[in-house]
Structure 1
């Protein structure tokens, strides 16, 4: 696979992304590197880059370029944003980088920066969330993009970021009430019109992926909620959660912030400004929460390059299905079995709606959990359900929230073997009031579906369910002998009875048999013995 690299020269840091491009245009992240060089410290204060800042910046780009070349990646884009854009001697920095690092720097406008970041967001979040508001809180500026599919509805860039805000009003440690009030006034003065315009678009979902937003969400998860940071998927940060984070940040000194779980020590001095700025934005745009992703400007640069060089499939918005398919193929699992079990599980889901009362979102979780239930076999069949859960949790499945990935992992974890236990780590990560009951219902269906393809021969052509007051009658149309499947399904129906309070009765109907022969030769087989 071809490797590409992009470098983002920002106000607060200089970052590298190396990724492999698969045949379908999908980006597989190889490495992310960062040098914390605050070019904006000079530019935002004096309007110029000092000689020291230029030297540090050039050395950082040299280091990152060497890393990219060592990985045998082609550097296809090096972009500079606010700090270089606003510096009166920005061209001096660009020339120095070209001469010493051997790469050409493109100084992009705020609008182009927003477009590229939005392109990255479109590759990470599914179309069901449209219209999408993308927010990027940078060091010197903040970008807003509202889009629906590939169509951009609104783009705004305002000259206010966390470094700029902290430099102007970070007089006291911790900040005083006057400091906080002055910060809010400054933000309102430059961002009010943009926030009003965004609100009028009627966007549905707010997303963000900048370092500031990621850091705030990690503090909420680790310090406020006391949880381990999520391993994969996008986080969700509510306005209420952000309020708790801001209370913690505002009452602690820089030294005390070293002890705050989830907070990058290098962001201590800009954390308060970042929290205040994001809280103001969410309130003024009317967003109750923000989905925190991983992809930003660097990913946007690579995706833009791929699109401009003829690979249109990267724009495919069925992100979930594509990422699940990639994991399925890489695991060398029995794809035919996975698809068959998913089909049967969804059929059961649809025909037993009166029992579980779940909706479309939960149906999708069952679909993808069923497809991935055996990926752990690539590690080893023994306890493969545990391996499946681990792989799902760490696979960087695009388009899923962290909470959704936890559900998928749990569905795979409990598709066979022991029932959920309170001591299980997988179970502990689930919300007791919602996720756990949902997982139990989905797993109850998946276990039966998995049993109905016990021999991996795909013999069940269809199934019909009749929900009775005390039992579920399940009739299987089969194109071959399926006694092994019936036996396996019966053995795995214990969770169904526990969850729904109904016995499962199964019978097989050979495809093509006349009704008379069918009635004479087959009978419903009770499974009372399974629940002694």
Structure 2
């Protein structure tokens, strides 16, 4: 299997093609980078520059051709800080999709930090003791506190070379007052977060960005690592030079000359905030996190990466007031129902994960209000960022949440689900199961278990047991049964075992 990965950053867009499933791990077949400056003016105006959009589209058209030439079977494209903040980024994403067929996912800073950590830790031997992963981009900087292969804290800061250069350092050499203002700004944002959460000091930083590698090149370090003291001296020298002088510095890359001072100051301030003494560059980064996720997907022959992040879904649901033990239990019940009705729905096992995800997330809208909770749940799921969830999966799961209470489903409602007839059929079948689970769920006290599921030509009979289930069949309203019976062409019958405890109502 060959996967093409497009990393659309604030300054550059990177393109990789990897061959997965081979001995020794993924094999890089092709790599290139274009400096398109997509974030041109975004952090000052809040909108994308038309010329930057044009450059971005040209890059995607070029990468589309390369993906075809390398026979890539899948293209994974994602955008970071500039697209997160541009008010018209959705328009750019639409243009790319319409002209190239490539679906760009705009990931959150939180997901970006996680994927960077996955990419670095999967490929590098970690330093001894606690250390920090730092990735300085054009619009944001991701920092993770780690020990061994484990991430303890991770955060995305709205600090990047292009952003800071556009706001603070508009000329070379910059005024001393501008440098001081820049340092104060960084210290305030980084220091406030670290102090409020009690971030512990580290001795070593692993830097995964081009800025870190550029600094190492300028310092001429033989082993590529360098001290924070050497970095500070370099910053003092660079901040006194004009553009012509900067270009004459040995090892200076012309494409970075206008942002090298901002990036170096940012790196120095982060190192001081973390108490670090040494910085070690790494060639691994965000793209490698995507590669690792795709490798796991190929190795397990799964359809979706969601399955690797079920704990995260439960954690997200608990943030919106759900009882984590309860949503885990109900997802297990949903899984049992899917398995026992496999001969009826005839869905591939890969579709099961969407049933589980929707059961976990369907009531998260209750934190806003019980009335209309399904609409609130739809909005929360649609707008939230879930690890490695594709755009169509966001819509698919959000709509399962929206229609879970039992509203009438029309062909028009299925249109946003997208895809072919197979996906729409799967949506109807899964939604019918979600509504059954929704009817059986009376709150955190639910301990329902299926005792027997019988399918014949006329009916599907579900016998269940467990505490809090007496009288539960009364909760299965006609409108919730209707979709199941229409979809599967059989009457739905619920039977409870004798001797159960009385039904305990919510609240």
Range class of TM-score, shorter chain:
0.5 to 0.7
Distance apart, 1:97 and its partner CA: 0.9
Question: Residue 267 in 1 paired to residue 256 in 2?
Answer: yes
Instruction: Flag structure 1 segments of 5+ consecutive residues without an equivalent.
Output: 313-532
SS in 1 for 2:299: coil
Instruction: Show the counterpart of 1:292.
Output: 281
Q: Work out whether residues 235 and 293 of structure 1, in 8 Å CA contact, stay in contact via their aligned partners in 2.
A: no
- Cα distance between partner residues in 2 of 1:212 and 1:198: 27
Instruction: Show the counterpart of 1:88.
Output: 87
Map Cα deviations across residues 399-441 of structure 1 (whole Å, 9 max, x no partner).
Answer: xxxxxxxxxxxxxxxxxxxxxxxxxxxxxxxxxxxxxxxxxxx
SS in 2 for 1:269: coil
Q: Work out whether residues 25 and 311 of structure 1, in 8 Å CA contact, stay in contact via their aligned partners in 2.
A: no
Instruction: Show the counterpart of 2:501.
Output: none
- Cα distance between partner residues in 1 of 2:212 and 2:171: 23
Instruction: Show the counterpart of 2:121.
Output: 122
Q: Work out whether residues 140 and 161 of structure 1, in 8 Å CA contact, stay in contact via their aligned partners in 2.
A: yes
- Cα distance between partner residues in 2 of 1:215 and 1:197: 32
- Cα distance between partner residues in 1 of 2:19 and 2:99: 26
Q: Summarize the Cα distance change of 1:213–1:128 in structure 2 as closer, same or farther, 3 Å threshold.
A: closer
SS in 2 for 1:235: coil
Map Cα deviations across residues 281-336 of structure 1 (whole Å, 9 max, x no partner).
Answer: 10110110111000111111111111233359xxxxxxxxxxxxxxxxxxxxxxxx
Match of 1:282 among 242, 262, 271: 271
Instruction: Show the counterpart of 1:152.
Output: 151
Instruction: Show the counterpart of 1:235.
Output: 224
Distance apart, 1:121 and its partner CA: 0.9
Q: Summarize the Cα distance change of 1:183–1:214 in structure 2 as closer, same or farther, 3 Å threshold.
A: same
Instruction: Show the counterpart of 2:50.
Output: 51
Question: Residue 134 in 1 paired to residue 141 in 2?
Answer: no
- Cα distance between partner residues in 2 of 1:127 and 1:171: 37
Q: Summarize the Cα distance change of 1:127–1:252 in structure 2 as closer, same or farther, 3 Å threshold.
A: closer
Distance apart, 1:25 and its partner CA: 5.8
Q: TM-score, normalised by structure 1?
A: 0.54
Match of 1:308 among 275, 287, 297: 297
Distance apart, 1:44 and its partner CA: 0.8
Distance apart, 1:128 and its partner CA: 5.4
Q: Work out whether residues 199 and 286 of structure 1, in 8 Å CA contact, stay in contact via their aligned partners in 2.
A: no
Instruction: Show the counterpart of 1:194.
Output: 193
Question: Residue 253 in 1 paired to residue 242 in 2?
Answer: yes
- Cα distance between partner residues in 1 of 2:197 and 2:147: 13
Distance apart, 1:60 and its partner CA: 1.2
SS in 2 for 1:275: helix
Q: TM-score, normalised by structure 2?
A: 0.56
- Cα distance between partner residues in 2 of 1:181 and 1:250: 11
Distance apart, 1:209 and its partner CA: 1.1
Q: Work out whether residues 33 and 64 of structure 1, in 8 Å CA contact, stay in contact via their aligned partners in 2.
A: no
Distance apart, 1:134 and its partner CA: 0.6
SS in 2 for 1:84: helix
Q: Work out whether residues 146 and 198 of structure 1, in 8 Å CA contact, stay in contact via their aligned partners in 2.
A: no
Distance apart, 1:251 and its partner CA: 1.9
295-304 vs 125-134, which moves further: 125-134
Distance apart, 1:22 and its partner CA: 5.0
- Cα distance between partner residues in 2 of 1:259 and 1:75: 43
- Cα distance between partner residues in 1 of 2:91 and 2:105: 13
Question: Residue 207 in 1 paired to residue 219 in 2?
Answer: no
128-137 vs 299-308, which moves further: 128-137
Q: Work out whether residues 80 and 105 of structure 1, in 8 Å CA contact, stay in contact via their aligned partners in 2.
A: yes
> What is the root-mean-square deviation of aligned Cα atoms in Å?
2.2
Instruction: Show the counterpart of 2:69.
Output: 70
Q: Summarize the Cα distance change of 1:127–1:171 in structure 2 as closer, same or farther, 3 Å threshold.
A: closer
62-71 vs 277-286, which moves further: 62-71
19-28 vs 107-116, which moves further: 19-28
- Cα distance between partner residues in 1 of 2:142 and 2:5: 20
SS in 2 for 1:246: helix
SS in 2 for 1:173: coil
Q: Work out whether residues 20 and 29 of structure 1, in 8 Å CA contact, stay in contact via their aligned partners in 2.
A: yes
Q: Work out whether residues 17 and 299 of structure 1, in 8 Å CA contact, stay in contact via their aligned partners in 2.
A: no
- Cα distance between partner residues in 1 of 2:121 and 2:244: 39
Distance apart, 1:156 and its partner CA: 1.0
SS in 2 for 1:262: coil
- Cα distance between partner residues in 2 of 1:279 and 1:195: 16
